[in-house]
Chains A and B, each alone.
Chain A
Amino acid sequence: MGWVTTISVWIIPMFIALILVTGTIKKVPTYETFVEGAKDGIQMSFSIIPYLVGMLVAITVFRESGAMEYMFTKLRPFLELVGIPAEIMPLALIRPLSGTGALGMTSDLIATHGPDSFIGRLASTMQGSTDTTFYVLTVYFGAVGIKKMGDALKVGLIADVIGIAASIIIVSIIFL
């Protein structure tokens, strides 16, 4: 554990030092260049707003109306038939939609079942192994103004299904 945390803490500062030292050696006007590049950041953040507002409002309405909950209960018997633990399903379904929602659910599952239980380990693996597809899609494409997403959403969602299935299979093999 020690080295893992050490790497995580050191990597960013070291990377910054590398950039600044290389820039100075190569005689780049570092500060001016920084300001020049940084300006883009402001504009970019603002251009994401419309995309993210549209997506998040739709997802929040869907969740708060109870539709998401209903979907879980309907899917439950079918999923149990395939051997997927029912407790984990809401997390699997919310993972591509909402990052904060998934994180909250993972904490909740770990708190209820214990971090070292099967469900706790599975939730941890699932949380770490895929990202919030809708968020990534909205932010990355929104920032550079891509409106026609092509097959991106399909590819992202299929990758999520693969990641979730892989988590269940791998955790079952290793910890059961």
Chain B
Amino acid sequence: MVNIIWVSLFIIGLLFAAVNGTMDKVNEALFQGAKEAVTICFGLISVLTFWLGLMKIAEKSGLLRGLSRLLQPVARFLFPEVPKDHPALGYILSNMSANMFGLGNAATPMGIKAMEELKRLNGGKNEASRSMITLLAINTASITLIPTTVISIRIQYGSVSPTEIVGTTILATACSTAGAVLVDRYFHYRRMKKRM
């Protein structure tokens, strides 16, 4: 599916450029897109290096295990395949709480670390496991409590009440997260059926 979407984005774009005479823009886009990707990755180096270092201390001191115990009831429901007290749960909880407070910079390293742990649980295969898909679904739906960036944009444009959208955002995000979990479950059971 990813392959099809990826190729379609290119081919549709190229066909369009041919018909509309925007080929010069496409040439520019090739370099611009690649450059942006590398810039993002370089930006990630600083954040990833710092947080992964810090989280290693949290892991060794048992803090992460403590956090995962806190999450136990939710985790049992969301990630039934992950064993009790596994460090992956600690990273998942850190990832979710960073997202809730709109701290994307901190959320990404925790999410990646959680993925790494989940991959290890899955025997190191290069295939996404059930728990990995669930974690991803929760992240794309992004449970937000405080949409920091949006609030700052609203302040910038002189909103009378910059935070009035906090309530609607929490409601909408709750819907999309619940939706993501349900859809994820549905696809999981469909996969199980196919395998039988």
Q: Which residues of A contact B (CB under 8 A)?
A: 1, 4, 7-8, 11-12, 16, 18-20, 22-23, 25-26, 28, 30, 33-42, 44-46, 48-49, 52-67, 70, 96, 100, 103, 106-107, 110-111, 114-116, 120-121, 124-133, 136-137, 139-141, 143-156, 158-160, 162-163, 166-167, 170-171, 174-175
Given contacts A120-B157, A129-B142, A146-B132, 13 further A-B contacts (CB under 8 A): A1-B163, A36-B56, A37-B57, A41-B47, A44-B52, A45-B48, A61-B29, A61-B30, A66-B17, A124-B147, A128-B169, A151-B191, A163-B176
21 A-B residue pairs with CB within 8 Å: A7-B101, A23-B61, A41-B45, A41-B47, A41-B53, A56-B37, A65-B12, A65-B25, A115-B159, A116-B164, A124-B165, A126-B172, A130-B142, A143-B116, A146-B119, A153-B5, A156-B136, A159-B176, A160-B141, A162-B180, A163-B175
Knowing A41-B52, A121-B168, A125-B169, say if A131 contacts B57 (CB, 8 Å).
no
Point out the residues of chain A lying under 8 angstroms from B136, CB to CB.
Answer: 136-137, 140-141, 152, 155-156
Query: Does B151 contact A4, Cβ atoms closer than 8 Å?
Result: yes
Q: Which residues of B contact A (CB under 8 A)?
A: 1-2, 5-6, 9-10, 12-17, 20, 22, 25-26, 28-30, 32-34, 36-38, 40-42, 44-45, 47-63, 101-103, 106, 108-109, 111-112, 115-116, 119, 126-128, 132-133, 135-137, 139-142, 144, 146-151, 153-154, 157-169, 171-173, 175-177, 179-180, 183-184, 187-188, 191
Query: Contact check: which of B41, B103, B154 meets A46 at CB < 8 Å?
Result: B41
- The 3 A-B pairs with the shortest beta carbon distances in the complex, nearest first, are A37-B56, A128-B147, A163-B176
State in angstroms the CA–CA spacing of A151 and B119 once bound together.
16
Query: Does B171 contact A166, Cβ atoms closer than 8 Å?
Result: yes
Point out the residues of chain B lying under 8 angstroms from A154, CB to CB.
Answer: 1, 183, 187
Query: Does B103 contact A8, Cβ atoms closer than 8 Å?
Result: yes
Query: Contact check: which of B56, B127, B179 meets A150 at CB < 8 Å?
Result: B127
Knowing A1-B163, A33-B56, A158-B183, say if A48 contacts B22 (CB, 8 Å).
no
Query: Does B60 contact A23, Cβ atoms closer than 8 Å?
Result: yes
Interface of B is mostly: helix
Knowing A48-B44, A53-B38, say if A141 contacts B128 (CB, 8 Å).
yes
Query: Does A145 contact B141, Cβ atoms closer than 8 Å?
Result: no
Query: Contact check: which of B5, B34, B50, B112 meets A57 at CB < 8 Å?
Result: B34
Query: Does A20 contact B57, Cβ atoms closer than 8 Å?
Result: yes
Query: Does B172 contact A129, Cβ atoms closer than 8 Å?
Result: yes
Query: Does B179 contact A23, Cβ atoms closer than 8 Å?
Result: no
Query: Does A149 contact B144, Cβ atoms closer than 8 Å?
Result: no
Query: Does A141 contact B115, Cβ atoms closer than 8 Å?
Result: yes
